[in-house]
Amino acid sequence: MSMRLALLATVLRYTAKPLLSHVRTPDDLRRSFAMFSRFGLRVPRGVMFATQPGPPQMLWVTTPKSDHRRVLLYFHGGGYIAGSPHSYRGMAGRLALLSGYPLVLPTYRLGPEYPLPAALLDARAAWGALLDQGFAPADIVVGGDSAGGGLALCLLANLAAEGILPAALIGFSPWTDLSGSGASMTENAGADPLLPAHRLPELVRFATNGGVAPEDPRISPLFADFPSAPPVLFQVSETEILRDDTVRMADKLRATGAIVRVETWPDAPHVWQFLDGMIPEARVALTHAAAFLTEVWGPAMPGAMRR
């Protein structure tokens, strides 16, 4: 663990975690998320952004050398009640630079105003929009972090039920079990430097507005069926409360015959990849994710366009 990460974990433990332990409303959480995003946002040079009208509205993240034949469809985190593509410009921009491929980040509806599974409908609409633009399923990797990682997996289950598979999936600490049944929810409750485990049931109530059970496979992909799955890369911290959301999801996908790689980091906060430019562990993780895209698609061809 780098000195920067050790310092950051201490700062989060005594600032962000107490804040998240006491926020009262979704609006409070949204303000906290926005504040944290401004703190962690480091947009790299050489990255371009363009907004595609919706619904759903989508933020394209490219570089002058991006290979436009393929795209990473990436869903932001925020517990299904906060966050936006705008907050992810730094991390998405770095991954676009490292991989040579563009990213597109959809806006999806959030609870409690638009309770789950509204987000899944928007994810499917974003997938459809890419197909309408001429991308084939094999030209699309789906991905996301935290709730967005869970949403990517819910989309994968939805597509797989129809015999449709993207090229691959990338998940950074995906939230796959909204019932909170993983052992790490209690084992890592004290060790996690960011997420307060005791607030999870309340977060689920906000996200669902009481409309669906936490075990519903449309919102908890751990309980979904995957008749088949493409190659998958997961990254997760060994000390976060969502560790077992990743571990058990990986086991489930392997049972379908999927090739699943799980990379673990010691003592990192939840979705540390977001902090590229602040801690070296973030850059290493994003470099691994970019290498995974190269394994799936081959090296990017700078400036290549779809025919």
Catalytic residue among 146, 173, 220, 237: 146
**Considering only CA atoms, which of 100, 90, 106, 108 is closest in space to residue 62?**
100
Catalytic residue among 66, 84, 173, 270: 270
For 262, residues 6+ apart whose C-beta sits below 8 A from its C-beta are 234, 235, 236, 246, 247, 250
Strand partners, 145: 172
CA distance 127 to 124: 5
In the block, tokens 């977001």 appear at: 274
What tokens were used for 213?
């059970």
Task: Give yes or no: 146 in active site.
Answer: yes
Task: Give yes or no: 270 in active site.
Answer: yes
Catalytic residue among 76, 184, 240, 281: 240
What tokens were used for 141?
């990797």
In the block, tokens 């409309």 appear at: 211
For 25-60, give one letter per residue: b (16+ CB within 10 A) or e.
ebeebbebbbebbeebbbbbeebeeeeeeeebbbbb
Residue pair 265/235 in contact (Cβ under 8 Å)? The answer is yes
Q: How many other β-carbons are positioned within 10 Å of the β-carbon of residue 13?
A: 16
Annotated catalytic residues are: 146, 240, 270
